[in-house]
Each structure stands twice: as structure tokens, then as C-alpha cells.
Amino acid sequence: MTRIALYPGSFDPPTKGHEDLVRRSLALADQVIVAVARNGAKQPLFSVEERLGMLRDTIGGEGRVSIQSFDGLLADFAKRVGASIIVRGLRAVSDFEYEFQMALMNRRLHPSLETVFLVPAVDLTYLSSSLVREVARFGGDVGGLVHPAVAGALARRFSR
């Protein structure tokens, strides 16, 4: 039986923290689907297509990883693609409440789906897409926090 894990999120933009979690997820599953929510952030910095492209640039080389987008409920998408695991990252206690609610709601919607929380590498625990967007917006250096292709996309988006 092929074990499929879904790693869903907004990925606006993907960071080194996301890359780290994809690699860790490969130890738990035969295939990992990185899934960009089409109905996620209301005013994203990057379009879904741009985010899919950035994810392909950063982790597209991994043979067991596929990169897709989805509309509607994550639990329905998980059923459609035959995923049995949802992977989410936990960085700090502040992440916990929202993640706990989502995990229980997804279980209610799809009882055989398990949510697994992974902790990123310690030097990436403070990292988030929103912080990266803010630092890049004001001209700060995001090198080392995102893949060079993402750093380039941010620089172009915020070039004055």
C-alpha cells in the first residue's frame, strides 16, 4: 500500500521552513503532495500559479514529491487523492490552538485522516511566510531564509 501524505498550506511564499518539513515528511510517507490552497489567504502576495512555480523551483527535484493546488475542503481533497496523513508544522505554542482545531475538524470530516505535526529544524522555528514578506517588502535580506528563486521573485515584486 502506498502511503500518501498531504502537506497543505498557503506557501505565500514558500520558505526554507517549508522545504525542511517536506524533507522530513518523506520519512513518514511514500509520496508527499504539497498542496496549495486556492481559497486560502484573501489577498496573497503571489498568485497560486506563482506559488506552484516557486515550490517546483525549491522542491520539485524530489522524485516522491508532487506539487498541486486544491479548491474547497482539504479533507475532500485528501479523500480524492487517497492521502491518509496531513502534515503540518508546529513552531511555537502560538501555532497550537489553530492547528488543534483544524486537526479535529479535519478528523470529523474524514475520520480515517490523521494529522501529524512536525517540528522544523531549530534555526528555522522563528520563520514564517508573513515575516519573510514583511522583511522583503522593506528591503531586508531574506537570503538563507528562502530559496534563491523565491528571493528573486520577492525582489522583483517589491522593486521600486
Active-site residue flag, 16: no
Active-site residue flag, 24: no
Tell me how far CA of residue 13 lies from CA of 49, 73, 91, in angstroms. Answer: 12, 21, 17
Residues 83, 70, 106, 80, CA torsion sign: negative
Active-site residue flag, 147: no
Q: Which three cell numbers stand for residue 141?
A: 535580506
Q: What is the secondary structure of 50-61 as a DSSP string?
A: HHHHHHHHHHTT
Q: Which of 18, 24, 88, 147 is catalytic?
A: 18
143 DSSP 8-state letter: B
Q: Which of 25, 88, 110, 129 is catalytic?
A: 129
- Smallest gap from residue 118 Cβ to ligand PNS (A): 14
- Smallest gap from residue 96 Cβ to ligand PNS (A): 13
- Smallest gap from residue 159 Cβ to ligand PNS (A): 26
Q: Which of 23, 56, 91, 157 is catalytic?
A: 91
Burial 126-145 (b: 16+ CB within 10 A, else e): ebbbeebbeebeeeeebeeb
Q: Which is nearer to ligand PNS, 73 or 135 (CB)?
A: 73
Q: Which is nearer to ligand PNS, 40 or 53 (CB)?
A: 40
Which residues in this chain contact ligand PNS in the complex, by CB under 6 A?
8-10, 37, 40, 73-74, 102, 105-106
Q: How far apart are CA 141 and CA 1, in angstroms?
A: 44
Comparing every residue's Cβ against ligand PNS, the nearest one is: 9
Active-site residue flag, 129: yes
Q: Which residues are catalytic?
A: 18, 42, 91, 129
